[in-house]
Amino acid sequence: MNMKRNVGILIFDNAEVLDFAGPFEVFAVTSELNNFELFNVFTVSEKLDPISAVNGLSVNPTYSYKDCPHIDILIISGGFGARKQVHNKNTLSWIQNAHQQTEYTISICSGAMLLGTLGLLDNKPYCTHHEVYEDMIKMVPTGIPKKQERFFGTDKMYTSGGISAGIDLSFHIVEKLHGNKIAQKTAKYMEYNRTP
């Protein structure tokens, strides 16, 4: 019997919209098409105040760091705001604690900077947005950039390239957990052509 997994998506001011909305759609629609039994998808931010994503989209987080339930799959958004979050001790501490309990920890786009700041990418391969590799190489000198890949994973940690690559990575995780048939059913419903 499959366990219903909690998918927590970290958002913050100036998060890239598709970084969180893309994975949200993949996991939520997959659950919707399967009697809402597979995933419980929600957003998390430092506080419950609305965040202003890139280009001004206002989003109400479901949970704050203080009241967030257990997370099985943690998704860390990127975007310009990630650069500020690497200096936010509350965010870094929350990610560190959540990561210890997750089945998968995933970064989208420049969200990799947060994993890098925590030392979680030391000596590990990773992907990020093509304009962020230069910064990442300074932040994580021992990391192994995978610039040609859309996403890459080792053990329970996955990173993806920019923006739309997070959708491909989300489908990859759905397929790992529930098989190709369920992943393809979601892709067909979303009219999304998956990148192999």
**Is residue 153 situated within a structural domain?**
yes
- Whether 54 has a pLDDT exceeding 90, the answer reads yes
- Whether 1 has a pLDDT exceeding 50, the answer reads no
Domain containing residue 73? 5-190
Output the average pLDDT for the chain: 96
**Is residue 93 situated within a structural domain?**
yes
**Is residue 57 situated within a structural domain?**
yes
- Whether 64 has a pLDDT exceeding 70, the answer reads yes
CATH assignment at residue 128: 3.40.50.880
Degrees, nearest 5: CA angle 45-48-50: 85
**Is residue 55 situated within a structural domain?**
yes
Burial class (CB in 10 A: 0-12, 13-18, 19+), 128: buried
- Whether 195 has a pLDDT exceeding 80, the answer reads no
**Is residue 9 situated within a structural domain?**
yes
**Is residue 195 situated within a structural domain?**
no
Domain total for the chain? 1
- Are 26 and 171 in contact by the 8 Å Cβ rule? The answer is yes
Mind listing the pLDDT tens digit for each residue in 83-133?
A: 999 999 999 999 999 999 999 999 999 999 999 999 999 999 999 999 999
Q: What is the DSSP code string of the chain?
A: -PPPEEEEEE--TT--HHHHHHHHHHHHHHHHTTTT-SEEEEEEESSSSPEE-GGG-EE--SEETTT----SEEEE--STHHHHHTT-HHHHHHHHHHHHH-SEEEE-GGGHHHHHHTTTTTT-EE---TTTHHHHHHH-TT-EE-TT-SEEEETTEEEE-STTHHHHHHHHHHHHHH-HHHHHHHHHHHT-----
Question: Which pTM does this prediction carry?
Answer: 0.96
Distance CA 65, CA 89 (A): 12
The pLDDT of residue 187: 96
The pLDDT of residue 84: 97
Mind listing the pLDDT tens digit for each residue in 127-171?
A: 999 999 999 999 999 999 999 999 999 889 999 998 899 999 999
**Is residue 97 situated within a structural domain?**
yes
**Is residue 196 situated within a structural domain?**
no
